[in-house]
Structure 1
Amino acid sequence: MLTDQIGKLSQPSEFLFNIEHSNGGLISFPVGIPIKNSKNEIIVAIGVSGSSVENDHKVASAGIEKF
């Protein structure tokens, strides 16, 4: 899934609420984009963090286009 969905699912009353307390502490970043093969299987992902969500998404999307 796109990692921005984790933020939505980790809100109170959602399925992943309190996930940030697992595995010694997690931080979810909204710009992780999976790359799938022709069988719709995830083979790798590109994650970007360092600017605004919008800029990070542009960078990740550019990486996927080059893949």
Structure 2
Amino acid sequence: MNLTLADAVVAAAKAEAERSGFAVAIWVLDSAAHPLAFARMDGANLGPIDVAHKKARTAALFDTDSLRLGQAARPGGAIYTLEHTNGGLVSFGGGVVLRDRSGAAVGAVGVAGATVEADEAIAQTAAAVLRV
């Protein structure tokens, strides 16, 4: 993962968010959960900056999309309270593992500021840039 690829992921997320009528915050992290790129679209609130970062960190640190982890992090689930580890995580949609063409994890993207469903769709669209 490098800055050129990270910028392409951000551009794809911004384009999908604009197409869907949302203003979002977008983080791209490398596979060690270190920042590579960030954007907050005009009109996006401030709160989603941190949420998007935590979504991306969750996906990067666990090599699993945040939506998928959320299924087991619900009350009574095997990893309930996971969100309180690693300096704060998020267990709902919008954090997606970035994989190269061979399927190897190279980082993660986090999107926040729309609905949870739209955040997830935007992040999935952005992640698909690396698989082309």
Match of 1:44 among 97, 107, 114: 107
- Closer, same or farther in 2 for the Cα pair 1:57/1:23, shift >3 Å? closer
Partner of 1:17: 80
SS in 1 for 2:113: coil
Quick one: distance in 2 between partners of 1:21 and 1:8? Answer: 16
Task: Confirm or deny that 1:30 pairs with 2:93.
Answer: yes
The structure, 1 or 2, with the larger RCO (C-alpha pairs under 8 Å, 6+ apart) is 2
Name whichever structure is richer in helix by fraction: 2
Q: Kindly provide the amino acid, as one letter, of the partner of residue 82 in structure 2.
A: I
CA shift for structure 1 position 51? 0.6
Amino acid at match of 1:10: A
8 Å contact from structure 2 (residues 73, 91) kept in 1: no
Q: Which residue of 2 aligns with 1:66?
A: 129
TM-score (norm. length: structure 2): 0.41
**TM-superposed deviation, 1:3:** 0.7
Q: What is the aligned length?
A: 66
Deviations 1:16-50 (A, max 9, x none): 11223334544434111112231x32111111111
Two-structure CA RMSD over aligned residues (Å):
2.1
TM-score of the two chains, using structure 1 as the length reference: 0.69
Does the Cα contact within 8 Å between 1:31 and 1:53 map onto a contact in 2?
yes
Which ranges of structure 1 fall in alignment gaps of 5 or more residues? none
